[in-house]
Amino acid sequence: MDVEGQRPMVSWENSTLAPVDRLRCERADSPTPGLVEGTEPGAVHQSAMFVHTQSFEDLTAEAEEAQREAELDQTDECTQELKALVVGEKTIEEQHNNSDISSESRAKEEDVSSEAWRSHRKHVFVLSEAGKPIYTRYGTEEALSSTMGVMMALVSFVEAEKNIIRSIQADGCKVVFLTKSPLVLVGVSRTCQSDKELLRELQYIYYQIVSLLTLTQLNHIFQHKQNYDLRRLLAGSEYLTDNLLLRLDRDPGLLLSAVTCLPLASSARDVVSSSLQTAKAKNLVFSILLAGDRLVTLVRKKDQYLHHIDLHLVFNLVGSSSSFREGEGWTPICLPKFNTAGFFHAHISYLEPASELCLILVSTDREDFFNMSDCKQRFVERLSKRSAYQAMKEALKCPSYSVEQVGIPELRHFLYKSKSSGLYTSPEFPHLYQSDEEQERLMGLYQDLHSHLHHPTRPLRSFYRCSQTENLLAWVTSGFELYLCFSPLGTKALAVSAVNKLLKWIRKEEDRLFILSPLTY
Amino acid sequence: MLMISPRMASGMQEKQYTPSLLSFFIYNPTFGPREGEEEKKILFYHPSDVEKNEKIRNVGLCEAIVQFTRTFCPTKPAKSLHTQKNRQFFFEPEDNFWIVMVVRNPMVEKPNKDGKPPTIEYQEDEILDTVYGAVVRQCYSMYKLFNGTFGRAMEAGGVDLLTQKLEKFFYRYLQTLHLQSCDLLDVFGGISFFPLDKMTYLKIQSFVNRVEESLSLIKYTAFLYNDQLIWSGLEQDDMRILYKYLTTSLFPRHSEPELAGRDSPLRPEVAGNLLHYGRFLTGPTNLKDPEAKFRFPKIFVSAEDGYEELHLIVYKAMSAAACFMISASVELTRDFCEQLDALVGPQLTLLASDICEQFTINRRISGPEKEPQFKFIYFNHMNLAEKSTIHMRKTASVCLTSVHPDLMKILGDINCDFARVDEDEEIIVKAMTDYWVVGKKSDQRELYVILNQKNANLIEVNEEVKRLCATQFNNIFFLD
């Protein structure tokens, strides 16, 4: 907790602006005492599974990427990439053909000059630096080519002044620009989200596209032919971006830069983890077991970490397509936070046909399908002999919990993120927030709290908002982030005591709610 | 404005630049619709020495931004453009007339070793749109106060007259913009009222009535004490901008002689009349001067049929100031001014000392002032009343606040949140510096409190604010 608060503190006791040095120990501990990082409920016991992510700040950290790109330029991987691309293209199309979300069902054929089109809550456009349309969330790219041309013109005009365009603000509407050469992403939003939140979402879309093609490939294509129509390569994969945008509106994990777990007794989870651990292979880097959108366990190669963005892209890939249910899938995937240059190859399959349990084995070798298939076999064989398998299947029946179990009156919902493990826990959405609309509204409230706490220059320790519809409290320490939603009847005194009570409850349940002992091969 | 950051002490010379005005221009896209005629669109451009093509380019960008934004919201125009280096604010006060203000983001210049040019880091999240958007609107209101609408100048003398007027007004006005000290108070653009007991208030009202009766030319009167308003006969919006002009421009320019003491050469001759301290702040400085000119600034205020043009007479005695407004169609003479001086001078002097006395008594009753544990800003949208214990005296050049600029910006952030919904709301935040900031919005009123109780918790902070509301605002905030 003490790592924070390093900004100069200023007192106006004597009406001066002189900075006052204060002893750290004088610092307040309200609303309730904090916990040292790494000891908060949900903190991992050994080393974490993920690359350490404080928050979305690291989304904007470009330095390491630039460095990686520089390294890439030195190696001639072109031929290999092109081969990879062919595989990629084919697989994407196959998925598309099998997928139940066909592009016909997308709201594509909209009149882009209609009020209905205009009034969508959030538009997302992707274009090339030549101004060629690559993706639009609503309407067809063809109909929007002139609009996208104007977008590109604005970007280049400001660039010509050695400046960078960030956003346009109008009443109740904003346009946010993100240039990620060779792509330009534009978001148009009628939500209350801050520019930073919208940029974070555009970053996700950017990484989604990179995960299909690799950045090296993208650069290569546009260096070769500036005018290239990238839709030719991405055809059939738009549903991934569509789906990701839906997730961004509804999944707290993408907001928190964290992942949530299937609640499971730690004894059972440990058995599953160690079964995965023994089913290893030479080129296997990550073994991920999912239950729907929840992580059951993740085993990784020593020293190799998975970034939460990459993991969310994997979640999105698996969750967006039903084709993996029909057998063993084998697909190239670039994990852009790991390496923007090359493809991994993912073996994706469900443990049982009708089960929610999906196993993803990530290998570095393109020819590794049969090895991975064998790994899965070994894992399933080993696991099926253990009682943990039954326990896990039982746990699947109630993959979440209700907020009533926590026993705090007036508390409707909460999000708790353990910073050191990158995992979060949250009860299911209560009755009041069951509809998509209400759920998105609640997420909007959380996003708002999040952007206040994580303001780039004026971050806050806590934020309490009392309105007609709900009372909200957000609190961040070096160990955790906590967001609570109360009914409007909840008082401030209740909110303060709720924090204590909730932290105690999470501590008591942490064995079940978090992965406390992640394994490596 | 350049400020040296405290980090400088560590050896590396790091320079911090506050936000500054990069350019300010006014254009009308309908004035040069054809290619090659773009320059005709530009009615005013500051700085004027910018090369013609660059002016055209910058106006072109604004037009493109406005046009582009219409693709998505045809009814709501673009208000600002954020870029890495600056922010541009757009305002269309009259059909097709656009005012654009470009403000450079604050930046830090970090020196590099080995003679490399310094690295410049732009601080992109420091400027609040609401604050500078309000500054642009204020620029227009001030122009309109002294010149009437753009449309009026167009009717009277076409583009030539309008450009002349814009040039004349903004050349000087822009020099008085102090962008680095703009804050939430600019968003409110409120009026500070002088607290007064009933008796004294009635005295002032009867004074105004008497003067208006004796000098029937007077159409409107406003009365201020200590830069705070007591009485006004103008419409609220007109008073708001007039108040801004008086307190940030006219009064500060004339305060020195009064502070200078009786025998100082700075003090203007009291016209041989020791019966009163009254003097004209606008118009003639010395009535006895045979060369004296009886010209007063003209202002435009709203009237039933659009606007009316008025002479603005500002007359001051000690800390009391009276503004008399007379229809511009009347020519003001020496006679009238002498009459006014003789009538108002002695009475205003007396009133000023009455108010002063009353004020001192009231202060004594309320007990010795000890430094409170909180500072606050209050604003009422209904009567524009504003009160701040955060701001020290606001002068023409600087607005001194007694809290850290970051805290002021947090207040601004909360204000933006409040503006989004129409409902009553309360927000309590704890800053990284452990200060608590509380914002309350209730029925058109907004209150912002900064508490210096670092060890307090949410409940204690709430209690503290409740106490403040009870003592200072008669419990007008009910939302708990």
Q: Measuring CA to CA, which residue among B473, B446, B462, B459 is closest to residue B184?
A: B446
Higher pLDDT, B277 or A359: A359
Q: Do residue A462 and residue B429 have CB atoms under 8 angstroms apart?
A: yes
DSSP B148-160: --HHHHHHHHHHH
Q: Do residue B432 and residue A461 have CB atoms under 8 angstroms apart?
A: yes
Q: Which residue of B has its CA nearest to A144?
A: B71
Q: Do residue B479 and residue A466 have CB atoms under 8 angstroms apart?
A: yes
Q: What is the CA radius of gyration of chain B?
A: 25
Q: Does B68 touch chain A (CB under 8 A)?
A: yes
CA angle A271, A272, A273 (to 5 degrees): 90
Evaluate if residue B332 carries a pLDDT over 70: yes
Note the CATH number of domain A11-56+401-521: 3.30.450
User: Of chain B residues 80-99, which have a CB less than 8 A from chain A?
Assistant: 80-86
Q: Calculate how close chain B gets to A470, using CA atoms only, in Å.
A: 10
Residues of B in contact with A151 (CB under 8 A): 68
Q: Do residue B68 and residue A151 have CB atoms under 8 angstroms apart?
A: yes
Q: Do residue B124 and residue A166 have CB atoms under 8 angstroms apart?
A: yes
Per-residue tokens: B169: 């007004």
Q: Calculate how close chain A gets to B7, using CA atoms only, in Å.
A: 11
User: Of chain A residues 187-226, which have a CB less than 8 A from chain B?
Assistant: 188, 192, 195
Residues of A in contact with B61 (CB under 8 A): 154, 157-158
Q: Calculate how close chain B gets to A26, using CA atoms only, in Å.
A: 8
Per-residue tokens: B179: 């962008």
Q: Which residue of B has its CA nearest to A464?
A: B428
Q: Does B212 touch chain A (CB under 8 A)?
A: no
Compute the average pLDDT of residues B195-220: 92
* Residue B193 binned pLDDT confidence (cut-offs 50, 70, 90): very high
Q: Do residue A169 and residue B410 have CB atoms under 8 angstroms apart?
A: no
Backbone φ/ψ region at A47: left (φ over 0), alpha (ψ -120 to 50), beta: beta
Query: What pTM was estimated for this model as a whole?
Result: 0.86
Q: Which residue of A has its CA nearest to B433?
A: A9
Same CATH topology for A59-244 and A264-399? Answer: yes
User: Of chain A residues 271-300, which have a CB less than 8 A from chain B?
Assistant: none
Residue linked to tokens 């900064």: B450
For residues B360 and A205, what is the distance between their CA atoms, to the nearest angstrom? 65
Compute the average pLDDT of residues B218-242: 94
Instruction: Measure the N-to-C terminal CA separation of chain B; round to a whole number of Å.
Output: 43
CB A472 within 8 A of CB A486: yes
Compute the average pLDDT of residues B152-163: 95
Disruptive mutation site among B8, B407, B458 for chain A (greatest number of A CBs within 10 Å): B458
DSSP B281-311: SSS-S-TT-TT------EEEEEETTEEEEEE
Give the DSSP H/E element, type plus range, for residue A170. Answer: strand A165-170
- What ipTM score was computed for the predicted complex, to two decimals? 0.90
Q: Do residue A466 and residue B83 have CB atoms under 8 angstroms apart?
A: no
Q: Which residue of A has its CA nearest to B437?
A: A463
Q: Which phi and psi (to 5°) does residue B126 adopt? A: -95, -30
Q: Does A170 touch chain B (CB under 8 A)?
A: yes
B401-407: long-range contacts (C-beta < 8 A, 24 or more apart)? B401/B181, B401/B183, B402/A12, B402/A15, B402/B375, B403/A10, B403/A12, B403/B375, B403/B450, B404/A10, B404/A12, B404/A17, B404/B433, B406/A7, B406/A457, B406/A458, B406/B431, B406/B433, B407/B431, B407/B433, B407/B435, B407/B437, B407/B450
Closest in B83, B427, B431 to A165, CB measured: B83
pLDDT score, position A465: 95
Closest in A8, A28, A158 to B83, CB measured: A158
Domain extents in chain A: 11-56+401-521, 59-244, 264-399
User: Of chain B residues 324-383, which have a CB less than 8 A from chain A?
Assistant: 371, 375
User: Of chain B residues 126-155, which have a CB less than 8 A from chain A?
Assistant: 126, 129
Residues of A in contact with B406 (CB under 8 A): 7, 457-458
Q: Do residue B83 and residue A468 have CB atoms under 8 angstroms apart?
A: no
Report, at the CATH architecture level, how domain A264-399 is classified: 2-Layer Sandwich (3.30)
| Neighbour count for residue B113 (Cβ, 10 Å) | 6
* Residue B73 binned pLDDT confidence (cut-offs 50, 70, 90): confident
pLDDT score, position B475: 53
CB A316 within 8 A of CB A241: no
Compute the average pLDDT of residues B260-282: 61
Residues of A in contact with B76 (CB under 8 A): 170-173
Q: Measuring CA to CA, which residue among A396, A414, A397, A395 is closest to residue A405?
A: A414
Q: Does B434 touch chain A (CB under 8 A)?
A: yes
Q: Which residue of A has its CA nearest to B104?
A: A163
How many residue contacts between A and B have a Cβ separation below 8 Å?
185
For residues B266 and B253, what is the distance between their CA atoms, to the nearest angstrom? 13
CB B128 within 8 A of CB B409: yes
| Neighbour count for residue A348 (Cβ, 10 Å) | 26
CB A131 within 8 A of CB A194: no
Residues of B in contact with A461 (CB under 8 A): 429-432, 434
Mean pLDDT for chain B?
A: 87
For residues A472 and A467, what is the distance between their CA atoms, to the nearest angstrom? 8
Q: Which residue of B has its CA nearest to A191?
A: B420
pLDDT score, position B366: 61
Q: Which residue of B has its CA nearest to A1?
A: B432
Closest in A13, A460, A468 to B424, CB measured: A468
Instruction: Measure the N-to-C terminal CA separation of chain A; round to a whole number of Å.
Output: 33
pLDDT score, position A482: 97
Q: Do residue A12 and residue B479 have CB atoms under 8 angstroms apart?
A: no
Residues of A in contact with B73 (CB under 8 A): 118, 170-173
Answer whether CATH 3.30.450.70 is correct for domain A59-244.
Answer: yes
Question: Which domains, and CATH codes, for chain B?
Answer: 15-182 (3.30.450.70), 198-261+274-366 (3.30.450.30), 374-473 (3.30.450)
The one-letter code for the residue type at A118 is: R
Residues of B in contact with A153 (CB under 8 A): 64
Compute the average pLDDT of residues B6-29: 80
Compute the average pLDDT of residues B9-38: 85
Residues of B in contact with A498 (CB under 8 A): none
Closest in B84, B406, B432 to A164, CB measured: B84
User: Of chain B residues 445-464, which have a CB less than 8 A from chain A?
Assistant: 452, 454-459, 462
CB A31 within 8 A of CB A66: no
Q: Does B164 touch chain A (CB under 8 A)?
A: no
Q: Does B466 touch chain A (CB under 8 A)?
A: no
Q: Calculate how close chain B gets to A219, using CA atoms only, in Å.
A: 25
Question: pLDDT tens digits, chain A, 521 residues: what are they?
Answer: 333 333 333 333 333 233 333 333 333 333 333 445 667 877 766 556 665 443 333 433 443 444 444 443 433 333 333 333 333 333 444 444 444 444 444 556 788 888 888 889 999 999 999 999 999 999 888 889 899 999 999 999 999 999 999 999 998 899 999 999 899 999 999 998 999 999 999 999 999 999 999 999 999 999 999 989 999 888 888 999 999 999 999 999 999 999 999 999 999 999 999 999 999 889 999 999 999 889 999 999 988 889 999 999 999 999 988 888 888 899 999 999 999 999 999 999 999 888 889 999 999 999 999 999 999 999 999 999 999 989 999 999 888 899 999 999 999 999 999 998 999 999 999 999 999 999 999 999 999 999 999 999 999 999 999 999 999 999 999 999 999 999 999 899 999 999 999 999 999 999 999 998 888 88
User: Of chain A residues 99-158, which have a CB less than 8 A from chain B?
Assistant: 118, 123, 147, 150-151, 153-154, 157-158
Q: Does B406 touch chain A (CB under 8 A)?
A: yes
Q: Do residue A495 and residue B458 have CB atoms under 8 angstroms apart?
A: yes
User: Which residues does residue B323 pair with via DSSP β-bridges, in sequence order?
Assistant: B222, B314
